[in-house]
Chain A
Amino acid sequence: MSALTTLQISPARWLYLRLSRSPSLTTGAAIILIVLFMAIFAPWLAPYDPTLQETANRLMAPSQQHWLGTDAFGRDILSRLIYGARPTLLLVLFVVLLMAPVGITIGILAGYLGGFVERSLMRITDIVMSFPRLLLAFAFVAIMGPGLLNGALALALTSWPAYARQARAETAKLAKSDYLAAAEMVGIKGPRLLFGHVLPLVLPSAVIRLALDLSGIILAAAGLGFLGLGVRPPTAEWGSMVADGTQVIFDQWWIAATPGFAILITSFGFNLLADGLRDLMDPRND
């Protein structure tokens, strides 16, 4: 922010300059918007029903009718690719909705209450932090049964500690500040203090953290699908589409290649966005 005050330029211009200087941010955001658009308008964009099986047209190479060919059941790959954005983004959304609130709540409570509560909560956080995340997630889904919600639960189960740590550190800093003392003095306390006055200050850094984590979550979700632990067939999902294509990889390679490429691009988009956000927030990086 010091750049703002010393160089006397308007905030809008500052943001514009930053954005124009950060192609990764704009590219990343564009990729994610496109994927989001695909997911939302899939029924209008997809040329075919993604579950429609035309056994006469099995394993077709890309053509005028089927731009990306068909799979072993004669389903149109392009349509499945477009619909496949849905479970991926849905799972990411579930994970975010589960893990960020849990982590942030634990962190805020620990940082605000201090003492024994803080020590025990952070102890648990440290322990979960050194768990093998991916492995536990796979084991969890394998034991609890596959599905979108279980997948999200599994990934959220081990991903919250980073948020807890960050929220605790910031709350502890805030707890010593005049800002909270003033809020307490005018009689704001309890949950209203924590969630009305502490949460908004802790949230921005959690959002950056989230952007950094999302690409990893997408890859883990794809991994679940690849191992057959994601959504149930015949729902189109990128990871399981790669797995379907594995059988015929040496002959009809595009069946596995295209959904994998979709995973790559989406995850790439989130990584670019996170990079750009970090540069934007942390001027030391430029």
Chain B
Amino acid sequence: MTDALLTVEDLTISFPSDNGPVPVVKSISLTVAREIVAVVGESGSGKSLTGRAIMGLLPCRAHVRASRMLFEGIDLQTLGPAGWNGLRGSGMGLILQDPKFSLNPAHRVGRQVEEALLLHTKLSARERKQRALDMLARVGLPDPERVYASYPAALSGGMGQRVMIAAMLINRPMLIIADEPTSALDRGLQDQVLTLLRSLTEEFGMGLLLISHDLQQVSRYADRVIVMRQGEIVERLPASELAQAQTAYTRGLWAARPSFATYGTRLPVFEDSGRPS
């Protein structure tokens, strides 16, 4: 836990507007070691932007500033395009929300799963295919050969997200950023996918930054939780202590979780919850 994979200090992200730059993430700091860290917040709290800033994948008009951004001893702020391309896909990976949009509809699954190997290793085509098939089996897909040869359109949402995980983990990165990896899936599938992510994280000895809006879910899979609101971190605490959260905001988020007790009643809503994104 002590040797952090990722260290971010004083990260500020702002976007230009007619009235000058508007900060959307305000001077936040966080570390990720070989563990699962959840970043929780409402939409617009800046949690996704934080994840993308770590991957260097923000649109170019976004302005990113930090006093420190280190990944495995590499200063991310000094990386050029080639440096980033070398790091992404081998050192870190990104899992997005909906495989319907995040998989390339024009490429077969196998090609997408292998891509990181093609870009970062010198394996032969046959070795890559073998690794891809192994990985597809590893994420629990039945009949990997068939999945390997099909187009994403032929996959269900749950299968698609497993393919996405396989594609990002095939090159054994140290850090995975999962941006709402289950919010496009059914409730039952969500747990399957998160369980899979957790077991692979432990097995591969990776760090996982799990971005989510669902505090209850996060509490069951993460080691530590960071709560964000309007671009700032309002609370950080171990997942096991969520029920005893200090701030009213976190307690509110916790209470806002849907459950059988709240079924059919109106969930509490925050006043002044910032602008929707």
**Are A and B direct contacts in the complex by CB distance below 8 Å?**
yes
**A residues within 8 Å of B by Cβ?**
3, 6-7, 9, 13-14, 17
- Distance, CA A125 to CA B17, complexed state (A): 42
Question: How many residues of B sit at the interface, in one of the four size bands?
Answer: under 10
B14-37 interface bits toward A, Cβ cutoff 8 Å, 1 = contact, 0 = none: 000111000000000000000000
- Which residues of chain A are within 8 angstroms of B266 by Cβ–Cβ distance? none
The answer to whether A9 touches B19, judged by C-beta atoms less than 8 angstroms apart, is yes
- How close is A251's CB to chain B, nearest CB, in angstroms? 54
Residue of A with least CB distance to B17: A7
The answer to whether B18 touches A14, judged by C-beta atoms less than 8 angstroms apart, is yes
- Distance, CA A5 to CA B25, complexed state (A): 21
- Distance, CA A6 to CA B19, complexed state (A): 11
The answer to whether A9 touches B275, judged by C-beta atoms less than 8 angstroms apart, is no
Question: Total contacts A to B, CB within 8 angstroms?
Answer: 11
- Distance, CA A17 to CA B275, complexed state (A): 23
- Which residues of chain A are within 8 angstroms of B19 by Cβ–Cβ distance? 7, 9
The answer to whether A6 touches B275, judged by C-beta atoms less than 8 angstroms apart, is yes
- Distance, CA A13 to CA B17, complexed state (A): 13
Residue of B with least CB distance to A17: B18
- How close is A29's CB to chain B, nearest CB, in angstroms? 22
Residue among B17, B18, B19 with the highest chain A CB neighbour number at 10 A: B18
- Distance, CA A6 to CA B275, complexed state (A): 8
- Distance, CA A7 to CA B275, complexed state (A): 11
Could you give 10 example pairs across A and B, Cβ below 8 Å? Answer: A3-B17, A6-B275, A7-B17, A7-B18, A7-B19, A9-B18, A9-B19, A13-B18, A14-B18, A17-B18
- Which residues of chain B are within 8 angstroms of A13 by Cβ–Cβ distance? 18
- Distance, CA A7 to CA B21, complexed state (A): 11
- Which residues of chain B are within 8 angstroms of A7 by Cβ–Cβ distance? 17-19
- Distance, CA A14 to CA B17, complexed state (A): 11
- Distance, CA A148 to CA B144, complexed state (A): 69
- Which residues of chain A are within 8 angstroms of B17 by Cβ–Cβ distance? 3, 7
- Which residues of chain B are within 8 angstroms of A17 by Cβ–Cβ distance? 18
- Which residues of chain B are within 8 angstroms of A9 by Cβ–Cβ distance? 18-19
- Which residues of chain A are within 8 angstroms of B18 by Cβ–Cβ distance? 3, 7, 9, 13-14, 17
- How close is B10's CB to chain A, nearest CB, in angstroms? 26
Residue of B with least CB distance to A14: B18
- How close is A43's CB to chain B, nearest CB, in angstroms? 46
- Distance, CA A7 to CA B18, complexed state (A): 8
